[in-house]
């Protein structure tokens, strides 16, 4: 993988995905200069004996406690140890790497005051695949993601545990084995490592990347369902959508029109007399498109946050000052993650309704539950129940976390964002919708086969073939769970989408 330079200003979602997957990183020359300048300001404040929050004072409600010069290293070490209070499941490696590089990118901006050697150790660990064990829970999203980031900082001081190539090791052993040395944190450095929104941003960013794939894949799978149910493409006429020009809606309608073009199934019933289809078919562009428009907003918010300084205090090198503020507050990301969960849940909700139409003989005109010998066989009966269960679970997960708050730190932190909870909820919704879409893809593929020898469009036949390459036709009842997961993997990684796009061209 190509080396990605961190400047603090232009890290993209695609960069983040590549680094999470293992791409190496380095600091740009400009970033190194910015970090050196900000560190000089911190060193100057310490030398003069200036009273600066987090440099020579306590933290939170201890902000008024002055710390002597001889205790400044202990202050930062104690901060990291005491704040490493996270609990719950350990972050997966992809999200841990996202968390690490996002924090490194903050340091690269030059507002944090960390020394170059400390920042370099962070990316050295990233490049060598030394991943700290970071519990998911323990952050309320202001003052940033303190607990999770403290578990990252523990690694840099040679404490705690980490994972290397699937093995759990002590941080001290892993660093030594890699030829690296832990750092002794200087003034402000502990705070520079833990004060920010990088947990919530990393989880939300990776969830968004997959959600964008799901939105386009939903168009492919919906088109398969529409054709299998002998639906019409009239509802996707561009004149309709030009009259209500939401960008996402228009894009989805164009996708559906293109995907259905040339279908023999469509031509077989063009003059059947049916006037219009149910909403889950006819209004797919309106629902899929609204989700796309939310994703566009979330993307703008996340990419801004990925390249923002979220420290407190912030170091302004040109003026030579440290200023206290509240950029660590995660409200922008929390709201965006909530919106992402809601939008993605709707992709799953309308997909579940289409599955119902496929398995219900009254609505589809196809064999009940898409199986021959119904009664002896149950076919897709329980697969639809699974989709319904996932869609209903998403209704709870889509309840916004950002409208909640709880007072912490002796009422100093009296309004918090709950951004990490919002991000984790969004991640869970994305996983559920991946599986709902997989069930619809399997059901639509089965339904199409009841119309043989008629074929759907070339693009949809390619998508159908991709499903069948992974899962054979259901000509007898068998265990469906592993097969749903197999197709969900194809959906999540974009393989089903690319199968259609190889014929249709890139979808919007």
pTM over 0.85: yes
**C-alpha distances in Å from residue 327, one per residue of 252, 275, 426:** 36, 55, 23
pLDDT at residue number 259: 98
Asked if 58 and 52 count as a contact pair (C-beta separation under 8 A), the reply is: no
> What is the pairing mode between strands 135-137 and 167-170?
unpaired
Q: Give pairs for 237-244: CB < 8 Å, separation 24+.
A: 241/285
C-alpha triplet 106, 109, 112: angle, nearest 5° = 65
pLDDT value of position 63: 78
Q: What pLDDT shows up at residue 65?
A: 87
H-run or E-run covering 323: strand 321-323
- Name the 3-class secondary structure at 393: helix
Could you tell me the mean pLDDT of each successive run of 10 residues in the chain, 508 residues long?
Answer: 96 98 98 98 91 83 84 92 97 98 98 97 98 97 94 98 97 98 96 96 98 98 98 96 98 98 91 84 98 98 98 94 94 98 98 98 96 95 98 98 93 92 98 98 98 97 98 96 98 98 97
pLDDT for res 447: 98
Q: Please state the φ and ψ torsions of residue 502, each to the nearest 5 degrees.
A: -60, -25
Q: Which tens digits make up the pLDDT trace of 97-130?
A: 999 999 999 999 999 999 999 999 999 999 999 9
Q: What pLDDT, on the 0 to 100 scale, is given for residue 70?
A: 87
What confidence score (pLDDT) does residue 410 get? 84
Q: Is 157 helix (H, G, I), strand (E, B) or coil?
A: coil
pLDDT at 343: 98
Residue 271 has a pLDDT of 78
Q: 474-497, pLDDT tens digit by residue? A: 999 999 999 999 999 999 999 999
- Mean pLDDT score of the chain: 96
Local structure of residue 399 (DSSP, 8 states): S
Q: Facing residues of 167 across strands?
A: 164
Q: Annotated active-site positions, please?
A: 53
DSSP string, 68-106: -GGGHHHHHHHHHHHH---EEEEPPHHHHHHHHHHHHHH
Q: What is the largest CA-CA distance in the chain?
A: 87
């Amino acid at each position: 993988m190509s080396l990605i330079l961190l400047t603090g200003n232009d890290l993209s979602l695609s960069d983040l995905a590549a680094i999470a997957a293992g791409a190496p990183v380095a600091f740009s020359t400009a970033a190194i200069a910015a970090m050196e300048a900000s560190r000089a300001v911190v060193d100057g404040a310490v030398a003069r004996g200036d009273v600066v929050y987090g440099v020579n004072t306590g933290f939170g409600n201890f902000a008024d406690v002055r710390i002597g010069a001889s205790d400044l290293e202990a202050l930062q070490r104690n901060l990291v140890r005491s704040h490493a209070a996270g609990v719950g499941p350990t972050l997966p490696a992809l999200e841990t790497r996202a968390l690490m590089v996002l924090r490194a990118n903050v340091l690269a901006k030059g507002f944090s005051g960390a020394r170059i050697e400390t920042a370099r150790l962070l990316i050295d660990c990233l490049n060598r695949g030394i991943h700290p064990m970071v519990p998911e829970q323990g952050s309320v999203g202001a003052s940033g993601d303190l607990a999770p980031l403290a578990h990252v900082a523990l690694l840099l001081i040679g404490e705690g545990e980490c994972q290397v190539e699937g093995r759990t090791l002590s941080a001290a052993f892993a660093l030594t084995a890699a030829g690296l040395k832990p750092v002794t944190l200087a003034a402000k450095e502990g705070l520079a490592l833990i004060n920010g929104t990088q947990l919530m941003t990393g989880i939300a960013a990776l969830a968004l990347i997959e959600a964008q794939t799901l939105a386009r894949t939903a168009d492919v799978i919906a088109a398969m369902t529409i054709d299998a149910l002998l639906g019409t493409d009239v509802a996707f006429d561009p004149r309709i959508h030009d009259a209500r020009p939401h960008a996402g809606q228009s894009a989805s309608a164009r996708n559906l029109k293109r995907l259905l073009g040339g279908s023999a199934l469509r031509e077989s019933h063009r003059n059947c007399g049916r006037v219009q289809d149910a909403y889950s078919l006819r209004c797919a562009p309106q629902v899929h498109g609204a989700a796309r428009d939310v994703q566009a907003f979330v993307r703008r918010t996340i990419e801004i946050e990925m390249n923002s300084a979220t420290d407190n205090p912030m170091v302004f090198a040109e003026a030579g000052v440290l200023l206290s503020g509240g950029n660590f507050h995660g409200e922008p990301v929390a709201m965006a993650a909530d919106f992402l969960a809601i939008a993605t849940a709707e992709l799953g909700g309308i997909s579940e309704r289409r599955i119902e139409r496929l398995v219900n003989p009254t609505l589809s005109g196809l064999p009940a539950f898409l199986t021959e010998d119904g009664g002896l066989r149950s076919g897709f009966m329980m697969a639809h129940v699974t989709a319904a269960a996932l869609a209903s679970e998403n209704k709870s997960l889509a309840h916004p976390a950002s409208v909640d708050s709880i007072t912490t730190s002796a009422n100093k932190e009296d309004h918090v964002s709950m951004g990490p909870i919002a991000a984790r909820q969004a991640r869970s919704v994305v996983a559920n919708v991946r599986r709902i879409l997989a069930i619809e893809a399997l059901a639509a593929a089965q339904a199409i086969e009841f119309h043989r020898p008629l074929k759907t469009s070339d693009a949809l036949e390619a998508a159908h073939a991709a499903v069948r390459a992974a899962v054979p036709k259901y000509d007898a009842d068998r265990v469906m769970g592993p097969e749903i997961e197999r197709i969900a993997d194809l959906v999540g990684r974009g393989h089903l989408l690319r199968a259609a796009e190889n014929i249709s061209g890139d979808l919007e």
